[in-house]
Copies of this chain bind each other. A is one copy, B any other.
Amino acid sequence: MIQRRYSRQRELIYNCLLGTKEHPTAEMVYQWLLPENPNLSRGTVYRNLKLLAEEGLLLRMPFPVERYDACTEQHTHFCCRSCGAVSDLELEYDPELDQRVARSSQLEIQWHDLVFYGTCKECIDKKNSNQEEHSLQKEEG
Chain A residues in the interface with B (C-beta under 8 A): 62-64, 66, 78, 81, 89-91, 97-98, 100-102, 104-121, 124
Contacts and interface: CB of A to CB of B under 8 A. Distances in A.
Given A66-B64, A112-B115, A113-B114, A78 B91 contact: no
Q: Top 9 A-B pairs ranked by shortest CB distance?
A: A106-B121, A109-B118, A108-B119, A112-B116, A110-B118, A108-B118, A62-B64, A113-B115, A109-B116
Q: Is the interface of A mostly helix, strand, loop or mixed?
A: mixed
B90 A104 contact: yes
A51 to B, nearest CB: 17
B119 A107 contact: yes
A90 B117 CA distance: 22
A111 B115 CA distance: 9
A97 B81 CA distance: 18
